[in-house]
A = this chain, B = another copy of it.
Amino acid sequence: MNKPENITIDTIAEKAGTSKMTVSRVLNNHPYVKSKTRSKILSLIKKFKYHPNLTAVNLSRQSSQTIALVIQYEHLFTTYYFTEILQGIEKMVDEYSYNLVILNVTSQEEEDVERITSWYFGKFVKGFLVLAPPQNSVLVKKMREADVPFVLIGASGGFKGSSFVDVENYTGAYKAAKYLIDLGHKHIGFIAGPPERGDAREREAGFRQALADTKIPVAESLVVCGHYKEDLGYQAMLQLLIQPARPTAVFAANDLMAKGAMMAIKESNLQVPKDISLVGFDDIDTAAQLVPPLTTVKQPMFRLGTEAANFLIEHNPEDSKPLHLVLPTELIIRESSSRRWHF
């Protein structure tokens, strides 16, 4: 029953007959170590399966090499683009040899504030990336008050004083709506996202402005809310279809709802785009795989992740101005949209 002794840096130093400082130098690739000493130590490390105690390392270095991503798990499936952003984040985190942890925040943010910020105050993490917080986020408010370093992802709207990366929701939506108008559509439906989210509001604003700019009145009966969810997009579309003056084109504030809408259209024995043109937003993976492939507004999601992570890691909050980065969106024209044929 030999107790698996705790192997520390001292163990290795002793076996190697050196001071622990030399071992530390080997661990950190310091140049001033004789190659013979180095290899001896390395083999001992292997032999004893030594792993440095990261807690001790962090305490000593007074830094953590870790950042946290705060997300609302419940939203995971409506923030469908999540994985791509995450991949962007991970890329940066890898490049800097950082670590990433993911922390959950519920819709009762108040209860989570303490738990989450203590990761920073307790010196566990250098700062936070906050994914798409609601406009009135208590968490963000508290973080700002307490000078916690953070970068918001996709929530430029309500937090002008803080660092954020976001995409041109307004312009993207404007372009999409304008595109439909240019195709001859005058009766355009809109399936909106959740009103508490800034991006959703911007997209709606862009849509409305495009119509306004071309003197097309917005029929309020053609604007319905789908909260970014597929099944609610389906429901919303059904609602649009029973309108006395059915729209000839529909713009959904995200692809997931567009997908639901497409299903509803098909089930009503109508065709996309012959009877109804359909445009989405996000360009999620499945957008191109739908039948017909979905015309949509593409966001540079991967880059959203890299930029946010890069800033958080590179800049310490005292010495730099907040990051305000808004990336362009691009209209991807596929086969779900076409010129208006019927009246």
Which A residues form the contact surface with B (CB < 8 A)?
4, 49, 51-59, 64, 73-74, 76-77, 80, 82-83, 86-87, 90, 99-104, 115, 118-119, 121-124, 146-147, 230-231, 263, 266-267, 286, 289
Q: Are A51 and B104 in contact (CB under 8 A)?
A: no
Q: Most chain-B Cβ atoms within 10 A of its Cβ — which of A86, A101, A121?
A: A101
Q: Which residue of B lies closest to A115 (CB)?
A: B99
Q: Are B104 and A101 in contact (CB under 8 A)?
A: no
Q: Are B73 and A83 in contact (CB under 8 A)?
A: yes
CA distance A73 to B115 in the complex (A): 24
Q: Which residue of B lies closest to A106 (CB)?
A: B90
CA distance A118 to B97 in the complex (A): 13
Q: Are A122 and B74 in contact (CB under 8 A)?
A: no
Q: Are B86 and A52 in contact (CB under 8 A)?
A: no
Q: Are A55 and B231 in contact (CB under 8 A)?
A: no
Q: Are A54 and B101 in contact (CB under 8 A)?
A: no
Q: Which residues of B contact A58 (CB under 8 A)?
A: 55
Given contacts A86-B73, A104-B90, whether A55 and B122 have CB atoms under 8 Å apart is: yes
Q: Which residues of B contact A102 (CB under 8 A)?
A: 101-102
CA distance A204 to B90 in the complex (A): 35
Given contacts A102-B102, A266-B267, whether A55 and B51 have CB atoms under 8 Å apart is: no
Q: Which residues of B contact A86 (CB under 8 A)?
A: 73, 104
Given contacts A4-B147, A77-B83, 17 further A-B contacts (CB under 8 A): A52-B122, A54-B118, A54-B123, A55-B55, A55-B58, A55-B59, A55-B122, A56-B59, A73-B86, A77-B77, A90-B104, A99-B119, A100-B103, A102-B102, A230-B286, A231-B286, A263-B263
